[in-house]
Amino acid sequence: MSIILKTEEEIAIMKEGGKILHDILHSLKEKITPGIKTYELEEYAQKLFKKYGVEAAFKGYQGYPAAICTSVNEEVVHSVPGNRILREGDIISIDAGVRSKGLITDSAITVKVGNVAPRISKFIETCEKALQKAIDTVRPGIHVVEIGTVIQEIVEGAGYSIVKDLIGHGVGKTLHEDPEVPNFKTPYKGPILEVGTTFAIEPIMAMGEGEIETLDDKWTIVTRDRSVAVQVEHTVAITPNGCEVLTK
């Protein structure tokens, strides 16, 4: 494992790109309404990337055909925008990356479509709580496993399942770097996090069993039992004072 430590200047560039990514995601959030198709969100996202003068880090990565991922209900991650219509009561996770001045940030939000059932709201809130508690845990000198342990305790404590086949990751010079950041406790403690480490924390959970499969498009990952899933994500940096969220 080889973690690429970033300089203060590089982290500042990532923070600048991360703010743009935050603004793009929340502009997309404002567009979400019952009746919209996911490809319409993709079209709007492309306009936003152009407006801000940044690149969509996902577009073309390992052949991915779009600027954003739009995962609805049972779709967990990597859903390619298309003709799926958002309905009242759905949820959608929008995942995107920005490349700005040669450095990448990665973030995801989950949005409610119109009015959703209270149990769905609680489900999303649990994932957001797990992300925040994980961020609160991050500081120089901890092992990676401490992040996953906190996430697992919150998610499973609320009666949900971790999607263990999908994890967080280092990010910056490329979209996926070391270290791997599991969302659960592992026997392997993982590396000790040093100042200058930048990575994405992304709790991914399901209301059902948490087992997944990939659809015929070779991209869209869904829950095997078709239970609802959720993903939220921030890129963070280890600083001398603790942890800084770069995508807000």
Q: Indicate the pLDDT class of residue 13, thresholds 50, 70 and 90.
A: very high
Question: Is 198 domain-assigned?
Answer: yes
User: What range defines the domain where residue 46 resides?
Assistant: 8-237
pLDDT digits (tens, 9 = 90+) for 201-236: 999 999 999 999 999 999 999 999 999 999 999 999
Catalogue the E-assigned strands of the chain: 55-56, 68-72, 75-77, 91-100, 103-112, 161-162, 168-170, 177-181, 198-201, 204-206, 212-214, 221-223, 229-231, 234-239, 242-245
Q: Are 171 and 11 in contact (CB under 8 A)?
A: no
Residue 246 lies in a domain: no
Residue written as token pair 């309905």: 87
Whether residue 105 lies inside any domain: the answer is: yes
* Token pair for 9: 């200047």
Q: What is the DSSP string of 78-137?
A: -PPP-SPBP-TT-EEEEEEEEEETTEEEEEEEEEE-SS--HHHHHHHHHHHHHHHHHHHH
CA 154 to centroid of chain Cα atoms: 17
Residue 225 counted as domain residue: yes
- Per-residue pLDDT for 1 more than 80? no
Domains in the chain: how many in total? 1
Does residue 70 fall inside a structural domain?
Answer: yes
Residue 150, SS3?
A: helix
Domain at 179, CATH number? 3.90.230.10
Is the separation of the CB atoms in 156 and 148 below 8 Å?
no
pLDDT (tens digit, 9 = 90+) per residue, 76-115?
Answer: 999 999 999 999 999 999 999 999 999 999 999 999 999 9
Q: Does residue 243 fall inside a structural domain?
A: no
Average per-residue pLDDT for the chain: 97
* Percent of residues in the chain assigned helix, strand, coil, to nearest 5: 30, 30, 40
Residue 21 lies in a domain: yes
